[in-house]
């Protein structure tokens, strides 16, 4: 019996140490970004999504990840970030108060998550129903045009009897921003026309590169935007 009690005590101590390390790590990140947290303190408390919905509302991970955040033109490194694509809000962790905190949207210029996944904020996009707070992934960047991807989630009611009333559904759209114009892209031809590219030349170059819109829209559209930004297209 005694060995069991001893092992239990050891396990509790190890768990406590791990939790303390995690908390200390977040606190260190907080202290390293004091000006940042002074900026976002007015963002408000974050409310977790209803437990009646199956899944989670986050982009890729439901755990905090260290990223780079740009607020009012100033960049902050190693900031704990969580991106809720259902509400289109960016969340950080306040280790002093031990709680998730919203970052005030209108102060955010953009942020970068692990694997160098970049997001920018576009204040307005009239006519696009999933604009939300205006955060878009920056897939391909250029001097004349950018390829954007809007990640979002919707909910779908569950038909079967379950403890969940609905489930989160992952969705995304591709958009091209050219100057002040933003075009939601539904087809290859639409993108080529919007960028005023030579269709025959594009199809020829795409064939050489073995690119196909139906097989991989992301890579194909990035190719189109890159072609438009190329000096050859001047």
Residue 25 pLDDT grade (very low, low, confident, very high; cuts 50, 70, 90): low
The residue with greater pLDDT, 32 or 214, is: 214
With a cut of 60, say whether residue 20 has pLDDT above it. Answer: no
Q: What pLDDT, on a 0 to 100 scale, did the predictor assign at position 17?
A: 41
The residue with greater pLDDT, 35 or 209, is: 209
With a cut of 80, say whether residue 170 has pLDDT above it. Answer: yes
The domain locations on the chain are: 16-113, 122-234
β-pairing, 166-178 vs 181-185, is antiparallel
With a cut of 80, say whether residue 132 has pLDDT above it. Answer: yes
pLDDT average, residue stretch 39-51 = 76
Q: What pLDDT, on a 0 to 100 scale, did the predictor assign at position 7?
A: 36
pLDDT average, residue stretch 115-126 = 96
Q: What pLDDT, on a 0 to 100 scale, did the predictor assign at position 14?
A: 35
pTM of the predicted model over 0.85:
no
């Amino acid at each position: 019996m005694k060995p069991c009690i001893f092992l239990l005590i050891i396990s509790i101590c190890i768990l406590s140490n791990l939790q303390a390390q995690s908390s200390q790590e977040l606190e260190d990140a907080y202290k390293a970004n004091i000006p940042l947290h002074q900026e976002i303190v007015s963002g408000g408390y974050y409310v977790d999504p209803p437990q009646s919905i199956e899944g989670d509302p986050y982009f890729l991970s439901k755990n905090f990840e260290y990223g780079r955040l740009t607020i009012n033109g100033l960049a902050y490194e190693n900031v704990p970030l969580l991106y809720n694509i259902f509400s289109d809000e960016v969340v950080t962790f306040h280790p002093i108060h031990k709680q998730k905190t919203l970052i005030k949207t209108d102060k955010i210029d953009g942020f970068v998550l692990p694997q160098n996944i970049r997001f920018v904020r576009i204040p307005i996009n009239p006519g696009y129903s999933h604009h939300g707070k205006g955060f878009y992934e920056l897939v391909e960047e250029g001097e004349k045009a950018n390829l954007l991807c809007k990640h979002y989630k919707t909910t779908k009611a569950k038909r079967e009897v379950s403890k969940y009333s609905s489930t989160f559904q992952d969705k995304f759209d591709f958009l091209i921003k050219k100057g002040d114009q933003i075009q939601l892209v539904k087809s290859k031809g639409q993108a080529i026309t919007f960028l005023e590219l030579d269709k025959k030349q594009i199809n020829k170059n795409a064939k050489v590169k073995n690119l196909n819109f139906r097989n991989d829209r992301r890579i194909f559209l990035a190719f189109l935007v890159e072609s438009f930004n190329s000096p050859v297209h001047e």
